[in-house]
Amino acid sequence: MIDTHFEAAPAVKRPFYRHLYVQVLIAIAAGIALGHFWPETGADMKPLGDAFIKLVKMIIAPVIFLTVATGIAGMTDLKKVGRVAGKAMAYFLTFSTLALIVGLIVANVVQPGHGLHIDPATLDSKAVSGYVAKAHDSSIVGFLMNIIPTTIISPFVNGDILQVLFVAVLFGISLALVGERGKPVTDFLQAVMQPVFRLVAILMKAAPVGAFGAMAFTIGRYGIESVANLAMLVGTFYLTSLLFVLVVLGAVARYNGFSILKLVRYIREELLLVLGTSSSEAALPTLMQKMERAGASKSVVGLVVPTGYSFNLDGTNIYMTMAALFIAQACDIPLSLGDQILLLLVAMLSSKGAAGVTGAGFITLAATLAVVPTVPVAGMALILGIDRFMSECRALTNLVGNATAAIVVARWEGELDKDQLDRALAGEVVPAVDEPATAQPAA
């Protein structure tokens, strides 16, 4: 089995401008400047961001399949697969619910929509009709049925993360059950992993270009001015998400023996990539790689991280309850405690039904409001213009939540190398995702 742990080795110090996170930061700043001063030209940069996200999505399916299949194939106890999945789902349900509650509490305390006095009859419901239609198409049963692919090959064509995960788990279990006869296949898959992860590193070279194009488009198309009109909501959402990461996830991290701030620093390249592209999928392959290098076993990372992308949406859940209460406050619609509890319960279910759908945050909000008649669905038109800016915060919070989940579940399962984690978070032994490993594999 490929050993993803690395011993310390003398590192060659590179110029600061050759680090991926520095290049992405510079690209984001350049994109903001272009979009602000030359908005039409900035909006025309959209293909650069779209092309990079497509490049990354191209490699996601092989990365998940190889990581999960080889990880499970190496397990001697197949009961562990169900145990890891069960612990991960318990973690996801707990913290997704906490995120919904936090959003509800903050919106009640701050009341970002208070004083706007919007008449619901004046809102343009046509602007959000497309999202409402997609929300009606989303259901728990439909979502669960969609996990089963049409053929064993179709997930690799469609790029559906949960379908790829489903096939990988079944294939990995099959390899484990056939024992020594499956060893040549397992060895082959492990050998394929090396060039696949090298391809990931090559694709990451284009990250600054993608971040530049996506940020230039966002600012050029929507303008910084669009945030100013609803600055209270945007600022409250960003601050709430930050507090959730530092306080809630910070407490979980401390209890499990690591620092949330060090973890955030460790995954800074992935966070900047998400910030620049507004897509958490752009960071999935390298996040999985980094969690393994931080001491979490391959099998746990392979199950927890891809599943978390659909079920552990902390940022999205904070957004849902906060946005719903903002619309009610802006339209002067009082919500009783019973109404808010109903909103919370519906959001818990709808957040799973729309998981994995493009624009899931906005679609999930539409699905929730469609069931809670007190808050008008047309009120979503109030926040449509700033949703792009809020989606970045949703994705950033989701990413930190999934990184935390991978380490916590690995520790619960006894599959975490604590010494390796400490050295990784201290920045000692783990090579950057944009360069080859300079350290030697551990014996």
Instruction: Identify the structural domains of the chain with CATH numbers, from first to last.
Output: 16-425 (1.10.3860.10)
* pLDDT at 440 (0 to 100): 36
Residues 150-172 have pLDDT tens digits of 888 888 887 777 788 788 888 88
At 441 the three-state DSSP class reads strand
**367-383 exposure pattern, b = at least 16 Cβ within 10 A, e = fewer:** bbbeebebbbbbbbbbb
* pLDDT at 71 (0 to 100): 78
Range 123-131 average pLDDT: 53
| Distance from C-alpha of 201 to C-alpha of 436, rounded to nearest angstrom | 8
* pLDDT at 246 (0 to 100): 93
Range 398-419 average pLDDT: 91
With bands split at pLDDT 50, 70 and 90, how would you rate the model's confidence at 254? very high
**Main-chain dihedrals φ then ψ at residue 256, nearest 5 degrees:** -95, 10
With bands split at pLDDT 50, 70 and 90, how would you rate the model's confidence at 441? very low
Nearest in space to 298 (alpha carbons), one of 308, 288, 307: 288
Residue 46 has pLDDT above 70, yes or no: yes
Residue 252 has pLDDT above 90, yes or no: yes
Residue 5 has pLDDT above 80, yes or no: no
More confidently predicted of 249 and 302: 249
Range 240-248 average pLDDT: 92
More confidently predicted of 282 and 297: 297
With bands split at pLDDT 50, 70 and 90, how would you rate the model's confidence at 261? very high
* pLDDT at 405 (0 to 100): 93
With bands split at pLDDT 50, 70 and 90, how would you rate the model's confidence at 437? very low
Residue 428 has pLDDT above 50, yes or no: yes
Residue 332 has pLDDT above 70, yes or no: yes
Helix H, strand E, coil C: the string for 366-386 is HHHHHHCCCCCHHHHHHCHHH
Residue 214 has pLDDT above 70, yes or no: yes
Residues 174-189 have pLDDT tens digits of 888 887 888 888 888 8
Range 408-413 average pLDDT: 91
Range 125-143 average pLDDT: 53
**Percent of the chain at pLDDT exceeding 90:** 9
Residue 434 has pLDDT above 50, yes or no: no
Nearest in space to 286 (alpha carbons), one of 11, 54, 59: 59
Range 416-421 average pLDDT: 89
More confidently predicted of 57 and 116: 57
More confidently predicted of 383 and 404: 404
Residues 6+ apart with CB under 8 A from 68: 165, 168, 169, 172, 299, 302, 303, 306
With bands split at pLDDT 50, 70 and 90, how would you rate the model's confidence at 255? very high
Range 307-322 average pLDDT: 82
Residues 64-98 have pLDDT tens digits of 788 778 877 777 666 777 788 888 888 988 988 89
Max mean pLDDT among 6-20, 179-193, 219-233, 402-416 falls in 402-416
* pLDDT at 143 (0 to 100): 61
More confidently predicted of 17 and 421: 421
| Distance from C-alpha of 326 to C-alpha of 330, rounded to nearest angstrom | 6
More confidently predicted of 8 and 193: 193
For the packed helices 79-110 and 387-412, what is the interaxial angle rounded to 10 degrees?
140
- Where is 23: in which H helix or E strand? helix 20-37
Residue 210 has pLDDT above 60, yes or no: yes
More confidently predicted of 229 and 357: 229
